[in-house]
Amino acid sequence: MFLFSALAISTFAASFVVTAQVNPVEHALQTGERAFAELKAADEAGANITALGVQFNVALGLLDNASRSEKTGDNATASALASQAESSFLAIIPAADSLRDAAVSKQQQEITDRYIGTPIAALIVAVAAVAALQIYRKIRWKQFTELRIKPKVEV
């Protein structure tokens, strides 16, 4: 009875291990989805993702070929190509994350600069206006003091 139970458990465990094995192409595809999500987040934050986009497309090409190899039954090639694609996707994830962080920091700095810059610009304009007013007054005063009453010439 004990032996039978142990056999049943081990059979169940073995079948679980078999079903739990993830297809390499599927696994690479899931990693690719994560990489795309990171790239999109970086793009939306304003980062330049052109170089990473090229890298992503190379990985997609490998994954396409892996998928075709899998369909023709060439599982060894499919697995190798999927593994290469996954490595590329895994390299893209932290790179995209860094780009996004840099873009967010830059964006925040720009917002801060704008909010500080606006009252400073207004202050400069106001000081310039007062200075211009004072210069104008000085000129007018100088013109006033230089006025002379011209003697009347009698013919």
Partner 1 sequence: MLKELKVFVAVFLVSLTVFSAILYLAQVPYAYDQYFALYTLGSAGLAEHYFPGDVVDILPGTRMSWHVGVYNHMGTVQLVRVVFKLLNLTMLGPDQANNNTASPRESFYETTRLLISNETWTLPVNWSVLNATTSPNATEIHSLTFNGQVLTDNVDVQALYGANYRIVIELWVYDDSGGNFSFAWAANGEERSAYNQIWFNMTRISILP
Please list every residue from 6 through 35 that binds partner 1, using CB under 8 A.
Answer: 33
Q: How far apart are CA 79 and CA 92, in angstroms?
A: 20
Q: Does 64 bind partner 1 (CB under 8 A)?
A: yes
Nearer to partner 1, 15 or 118 (CB): 118
Q: How far is the CB of 5 from partner 1 (least distance, A)?
A: 41
Token pair of 18 as six digits:
């078999």
Out of 37, 116, 135, 139, name the contact with partner 1 by CB under 8 A: 37
Nearer to partner 1, 8 or 130 (CB): 130
Give per-residue burial for 18-40: e unless 16+ CB within 10 Å, then b.
eeeeeebbebbbebbeebbebbe
Check: CB of residue 85 under 8 Å from CB of residue 60.
Answer: yes
Q: How far is the CB of 104 from partner 1 (least distance, A)?
A: 16
Rg (CA), the chain: 37
Going residue by residue from 42 to 61, which x/- string records binding to partner 1, judged by CB under 8 A? Answer: -xx----xx--x--xx--x-
Query: Considering Cα of 97, then 100, then 102, then 105, what sign does the dihedral take?
Result: negative
Stretch near partner 1 under the rule CB under 8 A, chosen from 10-18, 99-107, 118-126, 147-155: 118-126
The dihedral formed by the CA atoms of 25, 30, 34 and 39, expressed in degrees to the nearest 10:
40
Binding site for partner 1 (CB under 8 A): 33, 36-37, 39-40, 43-44, 49-50, 53, 56-57, 60, 63-64, 68, 71, 114, 118-119, 121-123, 125-127, 129-130, 133-134
